Structure 1
Amino acid sequence: MGQPANDLPHSHTHHEHAGESLVVAAARALTTAGEQWTAMRESVFAELAQHERPVSAYDIADNLSAARGKRVAPNSVYRILDVFVANNLAMRVESANAYLANTHPGCAHDCIFLVCDECGEAAHVDDEDVSRSVRAIAAARQFKAERPVLEIRGLCRSCT
């Protein structure tokens, strides 16, 4: 998903959501996209949204299993997370195979992460100029960029 380079706005603002507001915004964005918002999807999203750092599908499954008193399969969580990523409700930190909730669900943009090798923090950065450049590089090679992800590994301010 995402927009072609020429369709990316130069700048835009986001209404950042948190807590219950974030879950409601995610449900609205997913149903607007034509997908179903099920009880299981709500549980997975609510668990994901509780984490400030990237979290794995296994961690989400373990936490939901403990809360529900019955096993939640990681494969089920992975499938739901794939739907969330495809619909801009979540972002995948590829190098960590972990996920973050998108605090402005439904907003199409590319993923640029600053990932700390020490503490695991992954700061998400929106930069339309970088997105436009990455998409232009792909387009110049007749490659249609669907979901660009750029990760910059290093040390965050707290760990330097």
Structure 2
Amino acid sequence: MAHSSAAPRPPAAAGHAHVVHRGESLAVAARAALERAGEQWTAMRAVVFEELAGFDRPASAYDVAEAVSRSEGRRVAANSVYRILDLFVAKNLARRGVTANAYIANAHPDCRHDCIFLVCDKCGQVTHIDDDAITAGVRDAAVAGGFTPRRPVIEVRGLCAGCAAA
């Protein structure tokens, strides 16, 4: 995992400042968020998070299990990784995409809000954007439809700027 400091981002529509973490800063923020949630940051959870954060695209549990197995020098079962990834999603350390059934590390685990993912159909790159007005509208529409939303996942599929230009 590359080591770099946190990068400040402009305030989101909700009026709070976001800090997008990278490298060691991301691991520290993830550990702190998990421990605040009353969970332990075990050695295996640390390795799973590090490997997940090392992907530049959404990764399946099998992708992460393979990466963990390589880094640990032993086979790690995908079902163990699934359990950890599900915990990470529940505690805001990762997001799970619905259409690709893949996971991506949350670059700001200390901020709890709904995210929008832009997914490139050609190269697989995922860009995360925040727009609290849009996600609030999705929640409002769900409630109006008699549904109680928990964590909306909004994915927009298409082409990233690089692939669209090619």
Q: TM-score, normalised by structure 1?
A: 0.90
1:53 to 39, 49, 57: 57
| Runs of 4+, deviation exceeding 4 Å | none
Q: Deviations over 1:81-132 (max 9, x none)?
A: 1110111101112211111111111311113111111000111111001011
Change in 2 beyond 3 A, CA 1:156/1:9: closer
Secondary structure of the 1:88 match is coil
Q: Output the amino acid matched with 2:134.
A: V
Note if contact 1:11-1:128 (Cα within 8 Å) is conserved in structure 2.
Answer: no
Q: Output the amino acid matched with 1:130.
A: I
Q: Output the amino acid matched with 1:100.
A: I
Aligned residue in 2 for 1:94: 98
1:31 to 2:31 alignment: no
Aligned residue in 1 for 2:157: 153
- How far did 1:9 drift? 6.4
- How far did 1:46 drift? 0.7
When the two chains are superposed, the root-mean-square deviation of aligned CA atoms in Å is 1.4
Q: TM-score, normalised by structure 2?
A: 0.87
Secondary structure of the 1:95 match is coil
1:80 to 80, 84, 106: 84
- How far did 1:23 drift? 0.6
Gaps of 5+ in 1: 1-7
Note if contact 1:45-1:101 (Cα within 8 Å) is conserved in structure 2.
Answer: yes
Aligned residue in 2 for 1:112: 116
Q: Output the amino acid matched with 2:75.
A: R
Number of matched pairs: 153
Gaps of 5+ in 2: 1-11
